[in-house]
Amino acid sequence: MNFETFNFHPSIMAGVRALGYTIPTPIQLQAIPPITQGRDIIGLAQTGTGKTAAFALPILQHLRQNPRGCIRALIISPTRELAEQTCEVISKLGSKTGLQSVAIYGGVSMEQQNRGLRSGAEIIVACPGRLLDHLWKGTISLSELEILVIDEADRMFDMGFLPDIRNIMGCILHKHQPLLFSATLPAGIRRLVRETLHDPVTVQIGRTLPAKTVSHALYPVQQHLKTTLLKEILNGTKTDSVLVFTRTKHRAERVAQQLVRAGYRVTSLQGNLSQNQRQAALTGFRKGSIKILVATDIAARGIDVLSISHVINYDMPESTDDYIHRIGRTGRVDKNGEALTFVTNADAGKIRALEQLLDAPLERLTLQGFDYNRPAPDKELRFSQRPRRRVVRRQEIGKQTAMK
Ligand code: AMP
């Protein structure tokens, strides 16, 4: 089956071709027809399945029939990176339709966004906080909204955005078509679905399992040897772009610094960066001038780089959902990817949960020639070997000055 089956307008098909899509992905096949018919949708699809085009194409098809120069479609995104990326996909798919889209997120001037809004954009892709700022200031009105997409709903729930989403929903008082996309369906999201969607069609791409194009392996290792192991794996493996995940932003920064010192083209993406620094890091990674990106879960939301060949979990993710999200960055659509996870003894419970989800034991690998028994640097010893500084007491300082 190809894209001709959907009967999209030639201006939209031009965008599909420009992006090189020839065969619809399963979520596109399942979701596009009911969305086009105006049905409410729950799309259960993990990232990397082509879900953006699954909602973007019917939105473009619907809006182009009757352009009006006001906001008619809203996509709510958890992060600015995902908002930017979704907006970019919509702009490319819709480049010949004359429809415009604007990304709305915090950390940049509102005035700049106001200019974009005044230019007659009919589609906005927005993060919840900044969207509410605009709604309260009256610079955005949703009174003409026709289609609402809540994207990566489970992630927004994890990030504590549910009250904001409810406030946004409170600003849309008339009938519209809601579409909700989520990799998983936790209780909080099921409640939101009941409150917001009417007789929805559920489209589900498998269970929330990692894509089949990704192979998984565990590397048992002691905590203090992780960076050395990482460097040796990078040295001995043929990789394209590599995404390394750490549990904390400090660790992301430290690991990136250690890799820079080892001569790799690497950067870190963590919450401490300004918007410009984040953008520069992402652009470098996307264009391939930076080969390794070290990131935390939150910072990596929405990274869409087709050439990611390896996801390396420097730290085991907190939950199986996080694991799926992380490795959803590789093996995208029909490319192969590898997910390597460093595990310590403390991760036994999380490994069991992951193996249950995958319904198979995970392969444990050891790197040949790697010294797994190297002891941790002994802080006590290093301290005792340092030349001791004599502690000079206040009275002595007085004495020494007096003696001079
Ligand atoms: P998404 O899940 O929307 O983040 O999409 C993942 C990746 O798949 C993006 O790089 C898309 O450009 C790409 N993609 C989406 N649909 C198709 C398609 N039908 N054929 C090939 N690539 C696609």
- Domain CATH number, residue 346: 3.40.50.300
Q: How far is the CA of 304 from the centre of ligand 1 (A)?
A: 9
Q: Is pLDDT larger for residue 300 or for residue 400? A: 300
Residue of the nearest CA to atom 22 in ligand 1? 21
CB of 50 shorter than 6 A to ligand 1: yes
DSSP letter string, 199-259: SPEEEE-SSS---TTEEEEEEE--GGGHHHHHHHHHHHS--SEEEEE-SSHHHHHHHHHHH
Per-residue b or e along 160-171, where b marks 16 or more CB atoms closer than 10 Å to that residue's CB: ebbebbeebbee
Structural domains counted in the chain = 2
| CB within 8 Å of 32: residues ≥ 6 apart | 6, 24, 54, 57, 58
- Among 32, 17, 23, which Cα is nearest to 2's? 23
Report the C-alpha gap between 44 and 189 in whole angstroms: 12
Give me the pLDDT at residue 402, please.
Answer: 37
CB of 85 shorter than 6 A to ligand 1: no
Q: How far is the CA of 49 from the centre of ligand 1 (A)?
A: 6
Q: Tell whether 394 is covered by a domain.
A: no
Give me the pLDDT at residue 274, please.
Answer: 75
Q: In whole numbers, what is the pLDDT of the chain averaged over residues?
A: 86
Residue of the nearest CA to atom 5 in ligand 1? 50
**318 in the same domain as 294:** yes
Task: Give the residue numbers spanning the domain of 19.
Answer: 3-204
Count the helices and strands in the chain (H runs, E runs).
Answer: 16, 14
Please tell me whether the overall predicted TM-score, pTM, comes out greater than 0.95 for this model. Answer: no
**For residue 245, what are the β-bridge partners?**
295, 313
Report the C-alpha gap between 97 and 13 in whole angstroms: 10
CB of 348 shorter than 6 A to ligand 1: no
Of 333, 334, 335, the one to substitute when testing ligand 1's pocket (max ligand atoms within 8 A of C-beta) is 333
Q: For residue range 146-159, list pLDDT tens digits in order.
A: 999 999 998 898 88
- Nearest-5° Cα angle at 209, 204 to 211: 95
Q: Tell whether 165 is covered by a domain.
A: yes
Three-class secondary structure of residue 263 per DSSP: coil
Q: For residue range 277-335, list pLDDT tens digits in order.
A: 888 888 898 888 999 999 987 666 667 677 888 999 999 998 887 788 788 777 665 66
Q: Is pLDDT larger for residue 328 or for residue 366? A: 366
Hey, CA dihedral for 318, 321, 324, 327, is it positive or negative? negative
Q: Tell whether 387 is covered by a domain.
A: no
In terms of Cβ atoms closer than 10 Å to its own Cβ (0-12, 13-18, 19+), residue 198 is: exposed
End of a domain among 204, 232, 258?
A: 204
Give me the pLDDT at residue 334, please.
Answer: 60
Tokens (6 digits) for 300: 């990596």
**180 in the same domain as 83:** yes
Q: Indicate whether 184 pLDDT > 60.
A: yes
Residue of the nearest CA to atom 8 in ligand 1? 50
Q: Tell whether 161 is covered by a domain.
A: yes
The backbone torsions φ and ψ at residue 149, rounded to the nearest 5 degrees and listed phi first, read: -115, 125
